[in-house]
Amino acid sequence: MPEQRKSFHQELDEIRDQIVELGALVREFIPRGTEVLLTGDMGGALALIDADDEIDALTLRVEEQCYNVLARQQPMASDMRSIVTAVWLTGELERSGDLMVNVAKAARRIYGATLDPRLRGLIERMSEEASRLISLSLDAYVERDASLGAALADIDDALDTIHGDYIEAIFDAHSADDLGLQPAVQLALVGRYYERIGDHAVNIGQRVQYMVTGWLPEQTGAARLRARAAFGDAADGDPSAEAPSDHEPIEDHDRPGEGPR
């Protein structure tokens, strides 16, 4: 029996190592794609798009291994959560890689357009922030650090702010006739890709919280819904009854960090 547990834990470690490798591949993609975009390196764009296959293959491999372990070992509690988290993470990471492929494709579409230094600087900064967020989310995963996982949502605010400035800079450049409509639209999408990578990192942070504590931010919303339903039943047919949770501002996405219950 102890022999079997040992091999099971080895399998868990293997899954973790592969997630780390997948994360490292995706993290490399971010500065690499940015360089392709800023230097107009078409060969680099093609190489990056091809290299995404590697990420896809690794994603499949990890997922398969996760299912395998689930089916064979029928893990419970935190072991179960570790594997479920790994499956989630493959999705988040693979998608982040795809977003950088989109950046490389955008680089092909805007080829020849000159970007003013301000835009280039903002792209560099978005790229650095996105790469930092992915790094931190992987740190949280490896160290099983739920509080770092929760903090990612706040850390992501910096990227959102730069993204806002960037969109403004695109408007400025376009209205000053320095940037055509087509590249302007492409660049706006590029900004969105970086911003989405940040969101994926925030998601990873939430999944890490789940892995460690068993709690998901969505549970706050679910609890609110239940409370509302219970309250609605009690005050049947009286929509004006005070339901304090109804009047709370609805957030874009539930912030983690409200703590497990």
Partner 1 sequence: MTITAALVIPTGTAVLGACVVLALVAVAVVALTRRTDRRVMARLGSSLDRLGLDTLTTSGDSAGHSSGDASLDELLSRIEQTLRRSRLAGEQELGAIGRLQEVLDTLPLAVMVVDASGTILERNIAAGAFIDARHSDALVGALVNELLAESLAGRPAERTLELFGPPRRAVDVITRPLGVNGMRCAVAIIEDITERRRLEAVRTDFVANISHELKTPIGAIGLLAETLQAEDDPEVADRLAQRIQMESYRVGRTIEDLLELSRIEVDETRVADVVEVGSILDEAVDRLRPAAEQAGVVIEVLGSELDDSLRCDRRQMVSALTNLLDNAIKYSDPEGRIEIRGAVGAEEVVFSVTDHGIGIPARDLDRVFERFYRVDQARSRQTGGTGLGLAIVRHVAVNHAGSVDVESRLGEGSTFSLRLPVSLLGSPPDPSPKEPQ
Residues found near partner 1 in the complex (CB under 8 A):
17, 20-21, 23-25, 27-32, 35, 38, 116-122, 124-125, 128, 131, 135, 138-139, 142, 169
Q: At which residue do the structure tokens 């988040």 appear?
A: 92
In the complex, the smallest distance separating the C-beta of residue 183 from partner 1, rounded to whole angstroms, is 16
In the complex, the smallest distance separating the C-beta of residue 111 from partner 1, rounded to whole angstroms, is 18
In the complex, the smallest distance separating the C-beta of residue 39 from partner 1, rounded to whole angstroms, is 8
> Which residue number, 24 or 216, has a Cβ lying nearer to partner 1?
24
Distance CA 26, CA 86 (A): 15
In the complex, the smallest distance separating the C-beta of residue 119 from partner 1, rounded to whole angstroms, is 7
In the complex, the smallest distance separating the C-beta of residue 5 from partner 1, rounded to whole angstroms, is 20
26: closest CA among 187, 246, 204?
A: 204
**Number of CB atoms found within 10 A of residue 144's CB:** 15
> Which residue number, 7 or 245, has a Cβ lying nearer to partner 1?
7
Distance CA 43, CA 35 (A): 12
> Which residue number, 25 or 217, has a Cβ lying nearer to partner 1?
25
In the complex, the smallest distance separating the C-beta of residue 196 from partner 1, rounded to whole angstroms, is 19
124: closest CA among 49, 44, 171, 190?
A: 190
For the chain, the 3-state helix, strand and coil shares in percent, each to the nearest 5, are 80, 0, 20
> Which residue number, 32 or 163, has a Cβ lying nearer to partner 1?
32
> Which residue number, 144 or 224, has a Cβ lying nearer to partner 1?
144
> Which residue number, 20 or 230, has a Cβ lying nearer to partner 1?
20
Cα R_g (the chain), whole angstroms: 22
User: What are the φ and ψ backbone dihedral angles of 114, each rounded to 5 degrees?
Assistant: -95, 130
Burial 223-237 (b: 16+ CB within 10 A, else e): ebeeeeeeeeeeeee
